[in-house]
């Protein structure tokens, strides 16, 4: 239980109303519950402000409170993240080295490292201080994992992969597997060796069931502060700049370079050997087939600037409408 004032101090906001109001959790604004706090971050949710039964609302505009108690600040969404973390349940985690873990004698473990049941740590692995590795993980030889990182369960890190500090890798991720590289001669597919590795920067989060392929000659690299949703596929020799956000099922083909702070909507992707400029935004299902300059919003397959894509769609609809009218007029004339 916390007071509204304590939560306001936590998020560095200003209390509007009763600062001693008790709050014991968070609820959505549509399904607000008494003694909880909610938030409004998008205009479409403003209509619920007057009807919600939540006890308090975090807002950027005081007028939305309409007499209710709340917290006023510039970024309600960032604030609710802090409040959610404040009320997050404390799940128990295994600490220490489980007796069923298999750790090679050449591995170097930092201070306060935890390793869960049935995890295998191969030769010459280096694990930084305060890192937690869950159950049933396979860490191949030469892997380096930075300090304060967390690996969930059933993860495979192939040899020589590098994971930075303060990273989070969710269950089912496979990092450093061979890429899809073949050369074909007389209908015979010859596998290309993959001698590179995967290098992941600091403060990176990799979602469940993501796959990141190792490089063929060079390395596959993921910059600091990148965040991947579940099911993302990164092919061999791809370079991802820092601060990129990838929604679910994004696919990036081999040797493509993505600039820093790009955003990819769900199921967006890029073919191989293209360059995507910094701060590009790709709408859902967008397919990049050629180099894109940065700082623009793209949509469609092939990817085009969204304004051009919308114009083309409008023309297409107009043509379809005219074709129907002409067909109708033709039918009337012949009859």
Active site (catalytic) residues: 236
CA distances from 151 to 43, 77, 136, 287 (A): 37, 27, 11, 31
CA distance 296 to 280: 5
Q: Tokens 């295998």 belong to which residue? A: 120
């Amino acid at each position: 239980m916390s007071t509204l004032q304590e939560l306001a101090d936590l998020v560095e906001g200003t209390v509007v109303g009763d600062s001693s109001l008790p709050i014991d959790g968070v609820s959505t604004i549509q399904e607000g519950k008494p003694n909880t706090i909610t938030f409004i971050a998008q205009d479409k949710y403003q209509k619920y402000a007057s009807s919600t039964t939540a006890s308090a609302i975090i807002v950027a505009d005081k007028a939305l409170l309409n007499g209710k108690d709340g917290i006023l600040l510039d970024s309600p969404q960032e604030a609710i993240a802090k409040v959610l973390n404040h009320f997050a349940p404390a799940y128990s985690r295994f600490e220490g080295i489980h007796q069923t873990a298999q750790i090679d004698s050449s591995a170097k473990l930092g201070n306060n490292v935890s390793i869960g049941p049935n995890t295998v740590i191969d030769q010459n692995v280096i694990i930084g201080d305060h890192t937690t590795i869950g159950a049933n993980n396979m860490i191949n030889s030469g892997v380096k994992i930075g300090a304060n990182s967390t690996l969930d369960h059933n993860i495979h890190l192939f040899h020589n992969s590098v994971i930075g500090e303060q990273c989070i890798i969710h269950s089912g991720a496979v990092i450093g597997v061979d890429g899809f590289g073949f050369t074909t001669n007389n209908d015979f597919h010859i596998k290309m060796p993959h001698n590179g590795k995967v290098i992941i920067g600091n403060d990176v989060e990799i979602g469940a069931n993501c796959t990141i392929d190792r490089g063929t000659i060079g390395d596959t690299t993921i910059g600091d502060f990148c965040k991947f949703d579940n099911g993302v596929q990164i092919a061999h020799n791809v370079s991802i700049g820092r601060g990129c956000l990838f929604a679910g099922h994004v696919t990036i083909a081999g040797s493509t370079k993505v600039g820093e702070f790009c955003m990819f909507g769900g199921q967006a992707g890029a073919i191989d050997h293209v360059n995507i400029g910094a701060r590009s935004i790709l709408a859902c299902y967008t397919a990049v087939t050629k180099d894109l300059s940065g700082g623009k919003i793209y949509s469609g397959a092939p990817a085009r600037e969204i304004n051009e894509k919308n114009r083309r769609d409008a023309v297409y609809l107009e043509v379809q409408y005219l074709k129907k009218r002409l067909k109708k007029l033709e039918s009337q004339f012949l009859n």
